[in-house]
Amino acid sequence: MAPRENGHVELFGTGRLDRVLLDAGPAPVGPVLDRIRAAVADFSSNSPPADDQTLIALRCK
C-alpha cells in the first residue's frame, strides 16, 4: 500500500500497520484486510488516496 498522509503530514507507517496486525491476532485474512483498510481510512480522514492501493496477504503456518 502506498504511503498515506493525514492532515498533519504524518505517514501511516509500519508501526501503525504492525499494531493493526497484532490487534487482529489469528483472524481470517479477509477481516484483517478490512481492518487495515479501515485504519488507513480513519488515519487519512477518508480522503481519497493519491495513488493506487494494493494489499497482499499471506498467512504462514
Q: Where are the alpha helices (H) located in the chain, listed in sequence order?
A: 13-24, 29-43
- Would you tell me how many other CB atoms lie within 10 Å of the CB of residue 27? 13
Number of domains in the chain: 1
Q: Do 59 and 28 form a contact (C-beta atoms < 8 A)?
A: no
| Residue 40 domain boundaries | 1-61
Q: Do 11 and 4 form a contact (C-beta atoms < 8 A)?
A: yes
pLDDT digits (tens, 9 = 90+) for 6-60: 666 678 889 999 999 999 999 999 999 999 999 999 988 878 777 788 888 887 7
Total-model pTM? 0.77
